[in-house]
Chains A and B, each alone.
Chain A
Amino acid sequence: MAVRAAVHGTVKRREDPRLITGAGLYTDDVRPERCLHAVFVRSTHANARLAGVDASSARGMPGVAGVFTAGDVLFTSDTARPRLCGESVKFVGDAIAVAVGETREQAVDAAAEVVVDYEPLAALVDSTTAADAGATLVHPDKGDNIAFEFDIGEDGALEGADVVVRGRFINQRLAPVPIECNAVVAEPDGEGGIRMWTSTQVPFNVRSQVAEALGLPESKVRVISPDVGGAFGAKLMAYPEQSVIAALARDLDRPVRWFEFRTENMTAMTHGRGLVQDVALGARSDGTLVGMDADVIADAGAYAGLSPPQLVLTAMLASGVYQIPKIRFRSKCVFTNTAVMSAYRGAGRPEAIAMIERAMDMLAAELRIDPAELRRRNLIRGEFPYTTATFCTYDSGDYERALDLALEAAGYEKLRAEQRDRRDRGDRLQLGIGLSAYVEMTAVLNTSEVGVARAEPDGSIVLQVGTTSSGQGHETAYAQLAAGLLDVPIESIKVVTSDTAVVGSGSGTSGSRSLQIGGSALRAACIALIDQAKEEAARRLEASVEDIVRFDDGRFGVKGVPATALTWAQLAEGSPLSAQAGFEQSDQTYPFGCHVAVAEVDVETGEARLVRHIAVDDCGTVLNQMLVDGQVHGGVAQGVAQALYEEFVYDAHGNPLTATLVDYGIPGIGEIPSIETVAMETPTPLNPLGAKGIGESGTIGATPAVQNAVIDAVSHLGVRHIDMPLHPMRVWEAIQAARTKR
C-alpha cells in the first residue's frame, strides 16, 4: 500500500494558527467555576529533619480553604519520593505542605505563613564523592548512596593500543525550562471520580498513578493533556503534585488548580544530564580504534527518576558510529541532595555521543590526524544490521555519506585553510571547526501503540492514538499520513490524542517514538478502514468486495460503474466506520547524522560565538521536511545551549544558585545562527513507514560539535579539553593553563 502524495509534502503545521493567535488550550486556560488555588510550601534546605510543621496560623488566614501537611491527605499508595514530606526533606524544592485559597494570592500568603522547623543536616552535593566511605547518606536507611550500577565489557579494553588518550568530561546538569511550567487543574466529576488537566507527555501514566494514589479504578480518573508548552523529557514522569492536587479536589469537593512559579519550576521540576565521565580511548598509531574504557558517575538527585535507565542507554550507545572492538563501561548512579535527575532531550544518548566525540578529537590531536579523517577511518561501514560491542543492533545507516555531506556543505577544506591563516596571523578571533558524527536510538522501551481511524457521517475522518504532542506537530504529521492513505483532503481530518476518556490507551511521547510507532499504528488503522469501506460499499451495492475499486475522485464503487459509487460520508451514514489496529516495533531504530559547527573565539577574553552550524540528520523516510527541520532547529538550539550557556549550579550546601532566568542563561535568538540543514534519508526496515525519530537528534549532534569547535579554535594554543558550558572565563582559563604548561 503506497502512501500517496502526502509523503515528502511540506504541509504547514495545522496547529500553528491556533497556537500563534492565542487560541490554544493550555492547562492554564482551563478555568472551572469556583476553582481553588494551590501553592506548595517547599524545602529551603537541601537535607534536614523536620522537627515540626505548623500550619495553624496559615489555616486562619483570609480566603484559605485548607493547608495540608503530610498525613492530612490520605493516599492509598506509597511512593519512594514522599508527595508531602513529613519526616525529612532531601533537596531544596521538596514539597512539605500545600496551601489552598480562594485566590492564588491568598494561597501564596498562606503558604508563606506555614512555619517549618528544620533540623539541618550536612548535604551531599558532589556526585563524585557520593560513593566514598563516610559520605553523607541521602537515604540513611539504605546504607549507601548507590541508586543503580551498570557495567558492560571486560577489563583490558585498551590492550594493544599504541596510544591512549584520557579525559574527565563533565556533562553538566541542566534545567529543562519549558515555557509552560508544571500545571494541574483537577475537579470532582460528580460521580465519585476525578477529571483533570495537566501538562504532561504521558496522560495515561498520570492516570495510573493518580488512580493508585486515590484508590480509584482507572476508569474513574480522566486525564486530559491539552496543548503542552514544551516538555523536553521533563514531563515524562508523573509528578507527585498531580496526585496531591487530585486528592485535594476530592477532599475539598471543588476544582483545584496549581501552576508552578518559574523559580519553583527551576528547583522542583526534574533536571537532566549530570554525568562525570572518566574515559580512555585507545588506538593504533594509524588511528584505528582498539578499545574504550569508561567509568561514569551519574547524579540521580534526591530520589530515583529516570537517571538509572538513561545510564543504560549511555552505555549501550558508547560506541557511537565507530567500530570499536572492545568497550568496558562501568557506571554508578548516585543519590545527592539535589533535584531529581530525569529525562532531558536525548536522555542518555547525548551523554554517550559527547563522550566518544570529545575523545575522538583528543585522539586526533594526539595523533596529529585531521579529526574528519580520523572519524572516517573508524566509521562503521558495510552491512546493516550492525551489532556493536555494547550489544546494540543498528538497523540501517550510511555514516560515511552523512560525514561527506556535512563536510561538503560546510566547505571543510576552505574552513581549515581559513583557520590556518588566522593562526598564522595570530588573529584575536580564532576559528574553530567542530565535528560530531552521531547515531542515536529512538522508540526506546515503549515500542507499541494502538491507532484508531474512523469515518464520520459528515465526511470527516477522526484519528486517535496514544501519543501526546508537546509541540512537535502531531496534528499535522498524522493528518498528512492519513490524508495520503485515505485519499481525503487534510482539512477533513481531526486528530484526537491525550484524553484518557476518549483514547483507549497510550504510552505518550518520549524517545522520539511518535511517528514511527503511533504513525505506524495509524497507518494500519487507515488500511483497515479502507477495507471496511470496501466491504460496506460491497454490501450496499450488492457486489463482491473484489469488484470494489476506488475511482479518481476517491469514491468507492463497482469497477466500471462510477455512477453508483459512494463517498466516505455516504458509507459512514447511519453508523460510522471505525477501525483499530496496533503496531509493535521489534527493536529500537537508529537515526544518525553528522554536524559541523563553526565557532569564533576571542582569545583575549575567551568569548566564544557559534557562527555557522551545518546539520545532516537522517531519520529514515521523511514525511514532512518542514516538521523535521523544525525539530532539528529546536534540537540544535538546545545543543548550543548546553555547549555554550546553560548549567544548573548548587553551592556546597545544596542551595540552587541558578534558579531564575537571570542566572540560568538560556540562549536567545541572537545566539543561534541560521542553521544549515542537509536532507538525507535511509529508511529503517523496522516499520512500514521507514521512519525513525527526529525529536532529539539535533541536540545529540549539536552539543559535541559546538564544544569541539570552540576547543578546536584554541587547540593550537595547547588546549585539549574544556568542560561545558564554554563560558568566556572557562575558555580563557583553559588558554592560560595551556600557556603556563608549555
Chain B
Amino acid sequence: MEFLQPATWSEALAMKAAKPEAVPIAGGTDLMVEINLDHRRPATIIDLTHIKELTEWGMDDGRLRIGAGVTYARIIDELGDRLPGLAMASRTVGSPQIRNRGTVGGNLGTASPAGDAHPPLLATEAIVELASTKGTRQVAANEFFAGPKKNAMRADELIAAFLVEPARGPQQFSKVGTRNAMVIAVCSLALAVDPKRKHVGIGIGSAGPTPIRAAEAETFIQEVLEEHRLWERHVHCEPSALKQFGELVAAAAKPIDDVRGTADYRRHALAVLARRTFRWAWDDYRKSK
C-alpha cells in the first residue's frame, strides 16, 4: 500500500489528479474500520490531516466556510452557537474519541444514509465545496447525496469545505436508536427555523438510500405558518396541521425493513420526531420575542 502525505492543499489535489483511485483519509473513523474489516484494500491512501486549510473555518460572504477536516469536537466547542443543529447532531456521534477524530468532511465522503451530520446540513441548505486541480465547484447538500454511500464527487476531486449560513433561529436534531450513543440510528431528523426568510428546513437520516430533504413538508408547514400569520402572532400551530406535517415528513422517507427496524416503524418515528422537533423549535421561536 502506498501512503501519501501531502503538506499543502494544492499538493493534495495534484496527487488526487495523478491517482484518481487514491483514497483520502481524514479522521479515519470510517476508512480504518472498512480496512480492518477487509471491506476495502486501497492501493493508495492520501493523508489529509497535515493540510492546514482543511482544519480552518471562517466567514465568507455572509456564510460560514468550514474546512472538511474540522472535527465534531470542534464543531461543538467552536460553532455550537452559530450552528446549533449541527452541534446537536455532532454530540450524538460515536464517543468522545470518535468526535475528536471524526470530521464532517469524512461523513460527507462516506455519504452513509445514517451519517449524523447530513440531516442538519440538508435542513440548513448547506453547500459542499469540491475541488480539483481544475478548480472548485459548489454542490447543494441536497444534490450531493447520489445513492447509498455514493456522492457527487468526481474521481479527481476532494471535499474542501462546506458552506452554511449561521443560524438565525432555533434548530433541532433528534434521533431514535436502540441505545443513547455509539449506535446506528433507526432514523433521525433535523429541523431549522429561519424567521428572516420565513423558512423551515427539514433533513432526515437512516430512512432511505440517501439522507433526504423533506421538501413537501417544508412547503406545507411554511404555508401554514404564512396563512395563519403565525410568524407574526407567535402562537402555536393547530394540532391537525402538525399531524399533517408529520405525515408529509414520513412520506418523504424511503425506508426499508432491516435488522434495526421496519419501514413502517421508521415512518411512524419520523412523523413523531417531526412534530416534536417542530414544537420544540417553535416554542423557542415564540419565546424569543
* Chain A residues proximal to chain B, CB less than 8 Å: 112, 263, 604-605, 607, 644-645, 649, 657-658, 660, 662-663, 665, 667-668, 670-671, 725, 727-729, 732-733
Contact = CB atoms under 8 A, between A and B. Distances in A.
Contacts of B273: 605
A657 B38 CA distance: 17
A112 B181 CA distance: 34
Interface stretch (B66-74, B152-160, B257-265): B257-265
A729 B186 contact: yes
B272 interface: yes
A605 B180 contact: no
B259 A657 contact: yes
Nearest to B266: A729
A385 B273 CA distance: 55
Contacts of B180: 668, 670-671
A728 B37 contact: no
A668 B92 CA distance: 14
Interface of B: 37-38, 95, 176-184, 186, 259, 261-262, 265, 268-269, 272-273, 276
A667 to B, nearest CB: 6
Contacts of B184: 662
The 6 A-B pairs of least Cβ separation, nearest first, read: A729-B265, A670-B180, A604-B272, A729-B261, A657-B259, A665-B178
A662 B182 CA distance: 8
Given A671-B179, A728-B269, 16 more contacts: A604-B276, A644-B178, A660-B37, A662-B184, A665-B179, A665-B183, A667-B179, A668-B179, A725-B178, A727-B178, A727-B261, A729-B261, A729-B262, A729-B265, A732-B265, A732-B269
B127 to A, nearest CB: 30
A733 B265 contact: yes
Contacts of B262: 729
15 contacts: A604-B272, A605-B176, A605-B272, A605-B273, A644-B178, A660-B37, A662-B184, A665-B178, A668-B95, A668-B179, A670-B179, A670-B180, A728-B176, A728-B269, A732-B265
B182 A668 contact: yes
Contacts of B95: 668
A665 B185 CA distance: 12
Contacts of A662: 183-184
Counting chain B CB atoms within 10 Å of each CB, the highest count among A658, A667, A727 belongs to A727
A112 B37 CA distance: 13
Contact of B179 (A645, A649, A660, A732): A645
Contacts of A112: 38
A605 B188 CA distance: 12
A729 B38 CA distance: 32
Contact of A668 (B181, B265, B272): B181
Contacts of A644: 178-179
B91 to A, nearest CB: 12
Counting chain A CB atoms within 10 Å of each CB, the highest count among B179, B186, B262, B276 belongs to B179
A645 B182 contact: no
A547 to B, nearest CB: 66
A28 B272 CA distance: 48
A609 to B, nearest CB: 8
A605 B176 CA distance: 8
Contact of A728 (B38, B178, B181, B259): B178
Contacts of A263: 37
A732 B183 contact: no
B269 A605 contact: yes
Counting chain A CB atoms within 10 Å of each CB, the highest count among B95, B182, B184 belongs to B182
A692 B276 CA distance: 50
Nearest to B275: A604
B259 A663 contact: yes
A494 B119 CA distance: 58
A607 B175 CA distance: 11
A660 B183 CA distance: 12
B273 to A, nearest CB: 8
A665 B177 CA distance: 10
Nearest to A671: B179
Contacts of B186: 728-729
Given A728-B269, A732-B265, A649 B259 contact: yes
A39 to B, nearest CB: 12
A665 B183 CA distance: 7
Nearest to A108: B38
Contacts of B37: 263, 660
Nearest to B95: A668
Contacts of B183: 662, 665
A732 B182 contact: no
Contacts of A668: 95, 179-182
Contacts of A649: 259
A660 B37 CA distance: 10
Contacts of B276: 604
Nearest to B269: A605
B98 to A, nearest CB: 12
Contact of A645 (B176, B178, B181, B268): B178
A658 B260 CA distance: 10
A645 B181 CA distance: 12
A662 B34 CA distance: 13
Contacts of B265: 728-729, 732-733
A732 B268 contact: yes
A663 B114 CA distance: 13
Contacts of A725: 178
Contacts of A657: 259
Nearest to B259: A657
Contacts of A733: 265
Nearest to A670: B180
Contacts of A667: 179
Contacts of B176: 605, 607, 728
A112 to B, nearest CB: 8
B154 to A, nearest CB: 30
A73 B223 CA distance: 76
A658 B268 CA distance: 25
Contacts of A607: 176
Contacts of A605: 176, 269, 272-273
A453 B135 CA distance: 79
Contacts of B181: 668, 670
B166 to A, nearest CB: 30
B207 to A, nearest CB: 13
Counting chain A CB atoms within 10 Å of each CB, the highest count among B178, B265, B268, B273 belongs to B178
Nearest to B183: A665
A644 B179 CA distance: 9
A658 B258 CA distance: 12
A663 B180 CA distance: 14
B95 to A, nearest CB: 8
A472 B37 CA distance: 32
Contacts of B272: 604-605
Nearest to B38: A112
A63 B73 CA distance: 43
Contacts of B38: 112
A605 B174 CA distance: 12
B179 A658 contact: no
Nearest to A727: B178
Contacts of B182: 668
Contacts of A658: 259
Nearest to B272: A604
A263 B184 CA distance: 18
A263 B178 CA distance: 21
Contacts of B177: 728
A667 B177 CA distance: 12
A707 B228 CA distance: 46
Contacts of A645: 178-179
A733 B265 CA distance: 8
Contacts of B178: 644-645, 665, 725, 727-728
Nearest to A666: B179
A28 B85 CA distance: 44
A605 B268 CA distance: 8
Contacts of A727: 178, 261
Counting chain B CB atoms within 10 Å of each CB, the highest count among A649, A658, A670, A729 belongs to A729
